[in-house]
Amino acid sequence: MASTYVNDLRLEEIGDGDQSGTWGATTNTNLELIGEAFSYGTRAIANASTDNITIADGASDADRSLYLKLTGGGQACTITLLPNTISKVWIMENNTNSTLTFTQGSGANVAIPTGQTKVIASDGAGSGAVVYDVFTDLNVAGDLTSAGDIITASTVQPLGDTAADDKAALGYTSVLGAILTGQGSTNDVTLVNDADATVLSVPTGSLDVTVAGTIQPLGDTASGDIAAIGYTDVLGLILTGQGSTNDVTINNDADAEVIGIATGGTVANFASVPTVADVAIKVAGKESIWIPAGAMYPSTTNGCSALTQVETTALRPDLKVLDFAAAADDFAQFSVAFPKSWNEGTITYQPFWTVTGTNTGTVVWQLGGIAVTSDATINTAFGTLIATTALAHSGTSNDLMVSAESGAVTIAGSPSTDDVSFFQINNDTSASGQTGAVRLVGIKIFFTTDAKNDA
């Protein structure tokens, strides 16, 4: 009769009359495997969605260890405990970077998050086997001591004062924050200091709070938010709170929110611009930069006229302008190194121009750009040209015309920090109705910042 391994530790069970003269060796091996079942072992989990922990038949195997430290991995993994007929207890330590789920059959499974340890048990029921979380509903008769934090998804229960026969529960929810409840002859909740002196008490059925020192509660009963205000010599004014949207909210006399600070320190709202000495503080947002015609140059191909200085009247402003022909698309170019605080997003622009005569025809400008980073070629096509809305000249010589701000201009080349952006601008004669040469004085470029400075 051949040996079998049908027991929960997969020990070799010798058949009647078998292995004459080798019973001692087989028995010693079985004793060693029993000891191994109480040992500490390590096991590398595959970097895959599934893996198996299989207890070997009659041979040494780390998977048989009572305490099993699981390493390796790399992704969430479902681990099958095999064979599915073994009933065994493991202490499983998940030392991988992902959640491990333990299964044996079609019954319930147990998941162990990364960095956590659980005691699990398999029932060995074959295809319908169940894996149990052994410490579910754990009851500790004596004191429970922890060297680290105790994290609970529910309520820590109970806390007691046996002399007064009072019982209290300490809990926490994301909506209400810390919760203290209790039952006593005088006070429902009492806070005491190290000398057991009462510093705060809340009587049963009352909203009154009795304090031994100074405490100032602030409340907004309509929204259910509660905040506390305090002061220390080291930290100064302290505001803390718990609300559905903002951890700390500052309102004006009309109860309108002017500043909200969300959990984690993010400023959620400014109903008005903050000031220092009645002067507004500059914040990240829309900025502008002026590019005069004097900073531009005609394109080598289909270029506009060279930069020229035009006198209006003696001892009055002279103009540095680029002239664009009325009958053909002429082009000029310029470059900008945007500040590091730029969000590398789209820009808009606004042309400032006049014409050489008194014709009242319309003018349409177009602008396109390309961003070039270090060690990349400048020999790259400009992005899509974006046009302004047509604007008619006033008909008066030397009148300055300011076109409306354009739509969004996408700068080609995936802009990033320390790039130089090259631009091309032209008078779109096919969309314009101006018969005189158009004189560009300069353009204003609008961009958005998302940092407080360029550090």
pLDDT for position 9: 92
pLDDT for position 269: 63
243-256 average pLDDT score: 69
Model confidence at 245, pLDDT cuts 50, 70, 90, reads: low
> Across the chain, which distance is largest between two alpha carbons, in Å?
127
pTM: 0.47
Q: What percent of the chain has pLDDT over 70?
A: 80
pLDDT for position 336: 97
405-409 average pLDDT score: 98
Q: Which residue has the tokens 């491990």?
A: 100
Q: Residue 209: pLDDT above 50?
A: yes
Q: Are 310 and 439 in contact (CB under 8 A)?
A: yes
44-64 average pLDDT score: 94
Measured CA to CA, the distance from residue 256 to residue 271 in angstroms comes to 8
Query: 8 — phi, psi (to 5°)?
Result: -70, -20
| Cis bond upstream, residue 203 (ω within 30) | no
pLDDT for position 455: 86
193-207, 212-226, 372-386 — which one is most confidently predicted on average? 372-386
Q: Which of residues 452 and 443 earns the better pLDDT score?
A: 443
For residue 389, give the H/E element and its range. Answer: none
pLDDT for position 421: 97
Q: Is 366 exposed, middle or buried (0-12, 13-18, 19+ CB in 10 A)?
A: buried
Lowest mean pLDDT among 26-30, 47-51, 421-425: 26-30
Measured CA to CA, the distance from residue 324 to residue 355 in angstroms comes to 9
Q: Residue 277: pLDDT above 50?
A: yes
Coil, strand, or helix at residue 176? Answer: coil
Mean pLDDT, the chain, rounded, equals 85
Coil, strand, or helix at residue 34? Answer: helix
Model confidence at 144, pLDDT cuts 50, 70, 90, reads: confident
* DSSP per position, 283-334: -SSEEEEEEEGGG-EE-SSSB-PPPEEEESSTTS-EEEEEEE-SSS--EEEE
73-97 average pLDDT score: 96
Q: Which residue has the tokens 């718990």?
A: 242
For residue 275, give the H/E element and its range. Answer: strand 275-276
Q: Residue 186: pLDDT above 70?
A: no
Q: Residue 289: pLDDT above 60?
A: yes
pLDDT digits (tens, 9 = 90+) for 308-333: 999 989 999 999 999 999 989 999 99
Q: Residue 221: pLDDT above 50?
A: no
Interacting residues of 379 by C-beta distance below 8 A, sequence separation 6+: none
Q: Residue 302: pLDDT above 80?
A: yes
Q: Find residue 181's DSSP bridge partners.
A: 169
46-61 average pLDDT score: 94
pLDDT digits (tens, 9 = 90+) for 56-74: 998 999 999 999 999 999 9
pLDDT for position 164: 47
Lowest mean pLDDT among 159-168, 240-249, 381-390, 416-425: 159-168
Model confidence at 343, pLDDT cuts 50, 70, 90, reads: very high
Edge-first strand listing for the sheet containing 50-54: 50-54, 77-82, 100-103, 110-112
Nearest to 243 by CA among 226, 257, 221, 229: 226
Q: Residue 187: pLDDT above 60?
A: no
Query: 423 — phi, psi (to 5°)?
Result: -125, 155
Q: Which residue has the tokens 């009462």?
A: 198
- Find how far residue 368's CA is from the centre of its chain: 34
pLDDT digits (tens, 9 = 90+) for 99-137: 999 999 999 999 999 999 999 999 999 999 999 999 998
pLDDT for position 250: 74
Beta strands in 46-86 (DSSP E): 50-54, 67-72, 77-82
Hey, CA dihedral for 133, 136, 140, 146, is it positive or negative?
A: positive
Q: Are 189 and 168 in contact (CB under 8 A)?
A: yes
Q: Residue 444: pLDDT above 60?
A: yes
161-180 average pLDDT score: 56
pLDDT for position 396: 94
Q: Which of residues 221 and 363 earns the better pLDDT score?
A: 363
Q: Are 424 and 382 in contact (CB under 8 A)?
A: yes
In the DSSP assignment, the letter for residue 264 is T
Q: Residue 87: pLDDT above 90?
A: yes
Measured CA to CA, the distance from residue 100 to residue 308 in angstroms comes to 74
Cα separations in angstroms, 304 against 75, 314, 320, 443: 61, 26, 14, 16
Q: Residue 155: pLDDT above 90?
A: no
